[in-house]
Amino acid sequence: AWLLGTPVIVHGSCPVTREHVLQSGGGLYFGDEREFSSVVQRLSQDDELRGILGDAGRNYVREKYCWDAVLQRFSRVMDTIFSAPSESVISQ
């Protein structure tokens, strides 16, 4: 959705998606049915807000999940794993 510039609506009790929304500024979250209805209505009636949230989400995905960014994070993880001291399983 974000790559296409579409804002997202996520449930606030899911820490992963809520954190992505907070970090990206690319959507809104809700906690109950009343809030969900309010968020849907707000987004459906506010073209400017939809555009702002959609653009923020698109930028977040392009920055955080482009291949270069993913490969850099993967490389750091692998460097950490392979530079950690290992215990020898061979006893003398």
Q: Does residue 13 lie in a domain region? A: yes
Containing domain of residue 26, as a range? 2-83
Number of domains in the chain: 1
Max Cα-Cα span within the chain:
73
**The whole model's pTM is what?**
0.76
Q: What is the pLDDT along the chain (92 residues), one digit of tens a residue?
A: 999 999 999 999 999 999 999 999 999 999 999 999 999 999 999 999 999 999 999 999 999 988 888 898 889 988 888 887 766 555 55
Q: Does residue 18 lie in a domain region? A: yes
Q: Does residue 30 lie in a domain region? A: yes
84 in Cβ contact with 28 (< 8 Å): no
